[in-house]
Amino acid sequence: MTRVLVPLAQGCEELEAVTIIDILRRADIEVVSAGLDDGPVTASRGVRLLPDKTLEEALSQDYDMVALPGGLPGSDHLADDQRITGLLRAMNASGRFVGAVCAAPKVLARNGLLEGKQATAFPGVLQAENHPDITGNAVTRDGTVITSRSVGTVMDFALAIIEALQGREKRDQIEASLER
């Protein structure tokens, strides 16, 4: 079964986190949400999320992808966490997927995962990281890196993940079920 890790940092964007988890689970992808800290995560607008596991527990498994929800200061916490940055580098080095939405693409940029790649993010985020190849699209896939612009594009981001991991037919099936 395909497995995706969604790390949850204090101050993450709740709509992004929940949408990624929900849409991927609809596609029968095993999603593991993992808190950087023990206990509930208080998201950027005060919603409390209960991760499936701690990050320490989650790191004992292998993943086909790591998908980072954005939000502030959540994205900064992800960028500062050596466990996350090490995992992202290892995923990239082994040819597995990494993805990030909104402010979280800066985590990928700071770890060299966007070098030579097209990407998108919340306006200004990648410019601040001096990333030269910003598409401005809702979702950009360049090889095994998938990025998305904002909370308004997170559903498209989740569908792009499904397509990358399970194919266009599965993506179309899940997208059609959302429209009914």
148-178 per-position pLDDT tens digit = 999 999 999 999 999 999 999 999 999 999 9
DSSP 119: B
| Angle, CA of 12, 91 and 72, to the nearest 5° | 15
Q: Show the tokens assigned to 69.
A: 């929800």
Q: Is 102 a catalytic residue?
A: yes
β-partners of residue 54 are: 35
**Residues 6 or more apart from 152 whose CB is under 8 A from it?**
none
- Of the candidates 87, 102, 162, 165, the residue annotated as catalytic is 102
- Average pLDDT of the segment spanning 56-70: 98
CA distance 22 to 7: 14
Percent of the chain having pLDDT more than 90? 98
Q: What is the CATH number of the domain that holds 163?
A: 3.40.50.880
| Angle, CA of 142, 67 and 112, to the nearest 5° | 55
Tell me whether residue 161 is exposed, middle or buried, using C-beta atoms within 10 angstroms of its C-beta: 0 to 12, 13 to 18, 19 or more: buried
- pLDDT attached to residue 180: 76
pTM summary value: 0.97
Domain of residue 90: give its range.
Answer: 3-178
User: Confidence class of residue 33 from pLDDT cuts 50, 70 and 90?
Assistant: very high
Q: Show the tokens assigned to 63.
A: 């993943």
Question: Per residue in 79-122, pLDDT tens?
Answer: 999 999 999 999 999 999 999 999 999 999 999 999 999 999 99
pLDDT over 80 (residue 11): yes
- Rounded mean pLDDT of the chain? 97
CA distance 106 to 122: 10
- pLDDT attached to residue 56: 97
What is the number of structural domains in the chain? 1
CA distance 165 to 132: 27
